[in-house]
Chain A
């Protein structure tokens, strides 16, 4: 019996099967002939992002930003100093968890990643930075804000994004600017935040920075609520009872909407809403849902530079591929890979030491975000990283309602509205 079966296999089935296998092999070689591919070796960049889990929307956007830049560099002829070597993006998924992020990074390094990027979350960044130090692989972070990551004195870790203290300094700077320019000073403030790590850290930091700033603004109440809350009526009643002049919210996309509508309904009188640095106020669906109510909200945030040619070109490609605009996070992911390509161009090699030497010499100006040239200080932080102050202002086109009002060289609207008309008088 077995012989007969084997015999059958050798005749007809073998011919069919080998045909299928043959076709498969041929197909896999069709697109990229082996010999050609081998000519300039590809350089692998490992990108670990939170592609699934609670931050999936952002993580997928980050991957797309990374990939867009890789495609752009390859289309422009790859890394010229290395015979036009092409870049290849290796994808890792942190599932929004540090320990998974670390093992994914390890996998990508084993698969040959010469440089690592990512990972959006500071917790994941801490885990990967330690790993990269052990494995001696340069880690050029596109987004991650916690100061602690670069405070450890690691040799292989660099960041293109801004630090939390940079973010907070920006918030205070712009708050001073607005109050001076407009000649009005709020006296009483309420700080609100979501009860996740970022929300707590950010609002705690902001309160400290505000106390040190010398501004005569007193924080009269701090309101903290869980992430993903459905009802803020009690919290807003409490805010109203505290009689603030200004609100400093550290929020997430869902609660910005609930908070504002509730402020409207309960007629909470405010000079304005000023976000020290958090999402929840500039996403297209939030702008659309709140319409007039979100006008004049100001947020201090690392932002895109829509007037730059790099941004316009990248945004057009991004729109075409994914049918949504290149937002600030994806734009930083895009910038991260551009910076890596620039470093590789000058390193002329994938040797980690040469890459580090080139990284320290970085002076990269042609990027799509608000800020100066990307240069790294002793710790590995980008000295050119900067926040913008954005304000939502009336405009027929929904996507154009978010305007940069500072710093001066990036402004889209030179008119800051503060104090804002009360929500119910618009």
Chain B
């Protein structure tokens, strides 16, 4: 095989993997704190993409600049969903938690269909078409920016959880709910904030992806699945695991193009999932939080 081609694929895989990691981080955070799997995760990301798209089309503000606003909007959405729905079902058996969240996903998906129609929207932003060349190797600038920001946001979340009061409360509520209640933490509010934070992370990933791919209302589902695989790969509830899992999946998907047709990409992702489930069910970084 062509060496240039292989290196090209690995670089693109790493860059894509960073974004996968960011998408999965939100899912992992929500699971780590509340033990709930957010099946509306991909749809929340698509919502963020549409909001960002709207700001771009109506106000002419580039997605990178509107990032903060979009993240705030989706944070509120996540907070609201946790406060109204998820807090009520948090003690239910897992199988029963699935349906309300799947329903929320469907509602978001159809709202997007209602507001924006089924067409593919694809704004051309400043960086959409930029690339850097190192010899024969191309680095896609919007992908690079997305990767760097993804790593940056991940580090911010780490610091937030380690250093701030709310972060400590979140970790406390996640470690021992009863204990947290006993020392006077308003666990429900902490849960709301955690769900909001998880939603906000995926929103950031969505905005970073906007220059890279056309949005359509039905794409959310695919990303929920991707995030799910990444989280299982890295270990449920482990944030570093989400990042590493994202990188592994990104590289595996792209490098598989060397040997396999693109239609079998999903076979690669799911094979990784099954192998991990068989040999290390707690995930690569599972067992500690």
Contacts and interface: CB of A to CB of B under 8 A. Distances in A.
A125 B222 CA distance: 31
A238 B122 contact: no
B177 interface: no
A254 interface: yes
Nearest to A241: B5
Interface string A258-299: 100100111100000000000000010110011101000000
A162 to B, nearest CB: 26
B124 A265 contact: no
Which size class do A's interface residues fall under?
20 to 34
- Taking each of A234, A253, A258, which has the highest tally of chain B beta carbons within 10 Å of its own beta carbon? A234
Interface string B29-55: 000000000000000000000000000
B5 A285 contact: no
A264 B129 contact: yes
Interface residues of B, number: 37
B262 A234 contact: yes
Chain A interface SS verdict (over half): helix
20 contacts: A224-B262, A224-B263, A226-B265, A230-B213, A230-B222, A233-B12, A233-B140, A234-B9, A234-B253, A237-B8, A237-B257, A241-B2, A253-B119, A254-B120, A257-B122, A266-B131, A266-B138, A267-B138, A289-B122, A291-B124
A111 interface: no
A237 B5 contact: yes
B216 interface: yes
Given A57-B118, A237-B5, A237-B9, A231 B257 contact: no
Interface string B65-82: 000000000000000000
B244 interface: no
Nearest to B122: A289
Given A224-B261, A233-B12, A265 B219 contact: no
Nearest to A192: B262
Contacts of A258: 213-214
A257 B262 contact: no
Contact of A265 (B9, B16, B118, B131): B131
A282 to B, nearest CB: 14
Contacts of A290: 124
B233 interface: no
